[in-house]
Amino acid sequence: MANFPAKSYIIPEPLGITLVIGAWNYPYQLSLVPAISSMAAGNTVIIKPSELLARTSAVMAKIINHNFLQNYFHVVEGGVQTTTELLDYRFDKIFFTGSIPVGRIIYQAVAKHLTPVTLELGGKSPAFVLADTDIKMTTKQIVWAKFLNPEQTCVASDYILVDQSIEDKFLIA
């Protein structure tokens, strides 16, 4: 209905072999969501979890590697050297969640193969406070969101942009 009177349809065209390089802050979610999405699209998947969480990585590897065929869905554990070696292979798609400096390294490494890459890189997320806001509720929500999972949520506000007309009231709150 959204495209009426036109028609829409899906043509499944799997890309092939995908690599998911997971992050340390939400290791299961940020590894498994792109992996499952890729598998649902008909691709095979290799997950390279963050080396900073050896036990989490080991659990993920044990569950996945013991329950799936290696040529369909597999976890490769290891550190920076392992990731570097993986990037020498030709993949049909790569997903990476992490820092901007590592994102640059990955992008440069796969450029020689012209591999499509989805980079979810940490950034500086603002909070906008508009003139018609409930200042007390807004400050409470900003503080709650910032300290919900400190330094682990890349979309937590790093700075606040406040309408000048309420700046003084906001600073007092």
**Which positions are catalytic?**
120, 154
Distances (CA, A) of 95 to 2, 90, 121, 170, 172: 30, 14, 11, 39, 43
Q: Quick one: how far is CA 77 from the chain centroid?
A: 18
Give which of 35, 38, 40, 27 is closest to 98, Cα–Cα.
27
Determine contact, residues 39/67, Cβ cutoff 8 Å.
Answer: no
Give the Å distances, CA to CA, from 44 to 20, 37, 113, 153: 11, 11, 18, 28
What values do phi and psi take at 41, rounded to 5? Answer: -85, 0
